[in-house]
Amino acid sequence: MENQDEMPEKRFTEDIESLAIYDSYEILNFKAKAKDISIKGGNHVIKINNTIENLEIEGGYKEIHIKAPVNNLTIKGGQSKIYVHDFEDAKVDKLYIKGGNHVVEIVSSVNDLELHGGVNIIRCNYINSKINKITTIGGVRDIYLNPETDKCEKKFESGVCNFHKTEVKEDPIEFQAFLYEGDIGPTTLTNPKEDARCSICLQNYNEDKVVYFLPCAHYFHKNCLKPFYAGKIERFCPECKFKFRNNLVD
């Protein structure tokens, strides 16, 4: 996804009965309620700030920020990063993904998650994460669950599915609430994993080491990351190449 500064933003402030969007390149900000939305192809940042009954997305690259209820979200192919933010009423009742390559961060609530084929990373291990059912058929996926979300109903039929039991992540907002805006400040890293290491200097993290958390959730030594960006016009994660525009502050 290119820098959001270069993308025009379209705001929907009146209720929508039906809307189809094809192969555009823009920010779509849904501030009003909507019944049926279809988006095919193109590159989009999608901001959901009001209730949507049915949202179907096919192909292209999408970055989806869910801050309000979505009854049915269907993703077919393409590539996407989906954030179900920790807002008061943010939730997805049915999330269906078929094919493609997708990363889903469930910080609040998804009732029913169904994955058919494709390659997916699902993280549902934050302090307010909730999920009731996971169905996975074919494909390759890694699913991260904390002790509470690991209690959900799981149905595995084929393919490769790795369920990872993790500790609770308590503060995802520091790298999710404003993915492209604001400053990123240094954070003291506590209880690092024994084998965790900075992919810039390749050294292990020590207790109480100062790091920067990037919007993609990867983190690096403060003293490694700032020199890494010196002279660079574009900023991206050294590990996953996720682009962002936040300022790194001391």
Q: Where are the alpha helices (DSSP H) in the chain?
A: 173-176, 222-228
Confidence at residue 59, expressed as pLDDT on a 0 to 100 scale: 92
Phi, psi of 141 (to 5 degrees): -155, 150
Residue percentage of the chain with pLDDT more than 70: 89
Mean pLDDT, rounded, of the chain: 86
**What would you report as the CA-atom Rg of the chain, rounded to the nearest whole angstrom?**
18
Could you tell me which residues are beta bridge partners of residue 20? 38
Residue type at 147 in one-letter notation: P
Instruction: Provide the pLDDT for residue 169.
Output: 78
pLDDT in tens, 193-236: 777 888 899 988 876 688 887 766 678 899 999 899 887 777 88
Helix (H, G, I), strand (E, B) or coil at 150: helix
Q: The whole model's pTM is what?
A: 0.69
Picking from 34, 44, 79, 78, the residue whose alpha carbon sits closest to that of residue 59 is: 78
Flag whether pLDDT at 178 surpasses 50: no
C-alpha 77/C-alpha 73 separation (Å) is: 13
* Tens digits of residue pLDDT in 49-65: 999 999 999 999 999 99
Q: Is the pLDDT of residue 77 over 80?
A: yes
List where CATH 3.30.40.10 sits in the chain. Answer: 178-248
Q: What's the topology of domain 178-248?
A: Herpes Virus-1 (3.30.40)
Kindly tell me if the per-residue pLDDT of 176 is higher than 60: no
